Amino acid sequence: MARLFSHRLDWNAAENSLAGAEARARANPHGERPLIDLTASNPTTVGLPDEDGRLAAGLAAALAGACANIYAPTPRGAREAREAVAESYRAAGVAITPDDLLLTASSSESYAFLFKLLCDPGDAVLVPTPSYPLFDYLARLEGVVPIPYRLGYQPEGRWHVDLSSVDEALNRARREGRLVRAIVVVSPNHPTGSVLTEREANALDERAAACGAALIADEVFGDYVRRPAPEQVRCLAARANAALTFSLGGLSKGACLPQMKVGWIAAGGPPGAVAEALTALELIADTYLSVNSPAQAALPALLRLGPVARAALNTRLSANAGFLRATADAGSALSVLDSEGGWSLIVRVPAVISDEAWAHTLLERDALLVQPGYFFDLEGGTFLVVSLLLPEGAFQEGIRRLAARVAAVTETPGVS
């Protein structure tokens, strides 16, 4: 039989066993204990604090004031909207201008546009691991080959770019006869929470320039750095890089508004290359015109809501991170890996069973949903990834269940 679908979709879409167990747990919401979801990633469903109603009122006012009855498509995004994004960068001390920017509907679309811009089918992009599982899908949907490089945790005691792994990835691409067209970094990374430093940026820029590749920095979690690293790079595209550079941002994380579907690409690097890239990106964007007009019109007001939303969420993130660390420090068999920011933490659990078995056990016996480390290609131990987004009471109960189950499994051999 002739092949019906593209090789881009040639992956196993079957539901894994943990997803099936989750579906069964959610189908029985009135069980012995309510399900606690420590994989939550949607800020609109976790009861973000809004005691004075500023967020709800501000969102309603922003949308009410947006002109929705006129369609005036602009491939790079409306000038007023881009000026608002540039102003948000300037408020953070970053020199980005409206002319450096192009609006998209999401960071996923930003990646798609950049892979279209930079890559021919079969070309390679280097992507960090551990990090988003999404990279494999985004690259393959564009006919691009993702080649991983590793983030290391030891011996520095913090997550860092393993430059020898970057070199190994570049060499692998050469052996396979592939051109490396981009090196992707995520800062803060998910789920490690690590941020890019000036030393790492210099090293990656040198390698990218040498092989004619661009740098792509996913900085959507950039406003959630709890403990800045020395020489943290706030915006990679704002540096004087030798390589063409793109920084990604958006409302989804920056203002806790994923439903507004507005992201952006900031371009930097050699001026001539930047100008050519933005012209080509404008052509790509003009083909899709995906950012809706009301969202663009409301963008200045929505960006002004960002600091209010982030302040509320950062308070929760810090409190939950503190509780988890205190639990681990109080004689528990848990340990928490060092993290500088983001919305998640990585927890090391005893290797008496696999990370997947831990996740199943916690879900089926404790009504607690966590992500096993293998989802993110974590290596060197048995890890679970927990979200810090939940309200403090629910989060604390979830961590108590986790600590109690770990104690039960480790103190009673064979218990699972």
pLDDT in tens, 162-191: 999 999 999 999 999 999 999 999 999 999
Q: Check pLDDT > 80 for residue 154.
A: no
In this prediction, residue 416 carries a pLDDT of 42
Domain that holds residue 250: 69-305
Sheet containing 263-268: which strands, arranged edge to edge?
Answer: 101-104, 263-268, 245-250, 214-218, 180-186, 124-129, 145-152, 160-161
Q: Check pLDDT > 60 for residue 413.
A: no
Are 259 and 385 in the same domain? no
Q: How confident is the model at residue 151 (pLDDT cuts 50, 70, 90)?
A: very high
Q: How confident is the model at residue 130 (pLDDT cuts 50, 70, 90)?
A: very high
C-beta separation of 98 from 79 below 8 A: yes
Q: Which amino acid is at 243?
A: A
In this prediction, residue 155 carries a pLDDT of 67
pTM of the model: 0.94
Are 224 and 356 in the same domain? no
pLDDT in tens, 6-19: 888 777 766 778 87
Neighbours of 121 (CB within 10 A): 10
Are 393 and 332 in the same domain? yes
pLDDT in tens, 293-312: 999 999 999 999 999 999 99
Are 234 and 322 in the same domain? no
C-beta separation of 264 from 77 below 8 A: yes
Beta bridge partners of 345: 386
Q: Check pLDDT > 70 for residue 192.
A: yes
C-beta separation of 163 from 185 below 8 A: no
C-beta separation of 216 from 183 below 8 A: yes
Burial 10-36 (b: 16+ CB within 10 A, else e): eeeeeeeebeeebeebeeeeeeeeebb
Are 97 and 191 in the same domain? yes
Q: How confident is the model at residue 51 (pLDDT cuts 50, 70, 90)?
A: confident
Is 57 a domain residue?
A: no
Is 277 a domain residue?
A: yes
Q: Which helix (H) or strand (E) holds 228?
A: none
Are 353 and 275 in the same domain? no
Is 3 a domain residue?
A: no
Are 38 and 155 in the same domain? no
pLDDT in tens, 196-233: 999 999 999 999 999 999 999 999 999 999 888 779 99
Residue ending a domain, choose from 241, 270, 305: 305
Report the alpha-carbon distance of residue 266 to residue 272 in Å, rounded: 15
Is 139 a domain residue?
A: yes
Is 60 a domain residue?
A: no
Are 74 and 146 in the same domain? yes
In this prediction, residue 15 carries a pLDDT of 72
pLDDT, average across residues 349-355? 95
Q: Check pLDDT > 70 for residue 31.
A: no
C-beta separation of 66 from 298 below 8 A: yes
In this prediction, residue 415 carries a pLDDT of 42
Is 6 a domain residue?
A: no
CATH for 271: 3.40.640.10
Is 263 a domain residue?
A: yes
CA angle 290, 13, 170 (to 5 degrees): 75
Report the alpha-carbon distance of residue 404 to residue 345 in Å, rounded: 19
Q: Tokens at residue 294, please?
A: 């009301």
E strands, 222-295, in order: 245-250, 263-268
Domain count, the chain: 2
CA dihedral for 122, 124, 125, 127, sign (positive or negative): positive
Residue ending a domain, choose from 305, 324, 348: 305
Are 74 and 119 in the same domain? yes
Are 150 and 240 in the same domain? yes
Are 25 and 74 in the same domain? no
Residue ending a domain, choose from 240, 270, 305: 305
Q: How confident is the model at residue 30 (pLDDT cuts 50, 70, 90)?
A: low
pLDDT in tens, 242-298: 999 999 999 999 999 999 999 999 999 999 999 999 999 999 999 999 998 999 999
Is 105 a domain residue?
A: yes
Percent pLDDT > 90 in the chain is 80
Report the alpha-carbon distance of residue 204 to residue 242 in Å, rounded: 10
Q: Check pLDDT > 50 for residue 193.
A: yes
Are 107 and 225 in the same domain? yes
